[in-house]
Amino acid sequence: MFHEALSSATSDYSAAFAAEQAHYAANRVEDQLVCMQADIERLLLITEGLWSILKSEHGYDDEELVRRVLEVDLKDGKIDGKVAAQKPGDCPHCNRPLSQDRRYCLYCGEPTPIDLFTR
Ligand SMILES: [Zn+2]
């Protein structure tokens, strides 16, 4: 009798703990989503500002700018609204393969080329 009661209490405690952990995890995801929405809004504002400068200061029209965006989209071979991640390529100093997310070549120690649009 005592053993069953203890087992039931332990099970209730485990379930409550799991529910609390799930609640915190859901809150973290919600916070990340809010941050991502703010990032997207900021990027849209920057893009619109740059688009406007290209039109007013450099003579590009919407048609040409859209064509350029489609060129970027097509870099990975398909127009799908995104550019697939690319491999980092070879080191320009020693021609060995570069590792992703490294600032320096693992083989020769030279700084890796910076590509602001690497995904
Ligand atoms: Zn190298």
pTM of the model: 0.63
The tokens of 114 are what? 């910076």
Nearest 5°: the CA angle 9, 14, 15 is: 100
CA of 104 to the centre of ligand 1 (A): 8
Q: Per-residue confidence of the chain (119 residues) as pLDDT tens digits?
A: 667 777 787 888 899 999 999 999 999 999 999 999 999 999 999 999 999 999 999 999 999 999 999 999 998 889 999 888 778 889 999 999 998 888 999 999 999 988 777 77
The pair of three-digit structure tokens given for residue 101, joined into one six-digit string: 């997310």
Rounded CA gap, 107 and 102, in Å?
12
For residue 115, how far is its CA from the centre of ligand 1 (angstroms)?
A: 16
Estimate the crossing angle of helix 62-73 against helix 2-58, to 10 degrees: 140
Query: Ligand 1: distance of its center to the CA of 98 in Å?
Result: 7
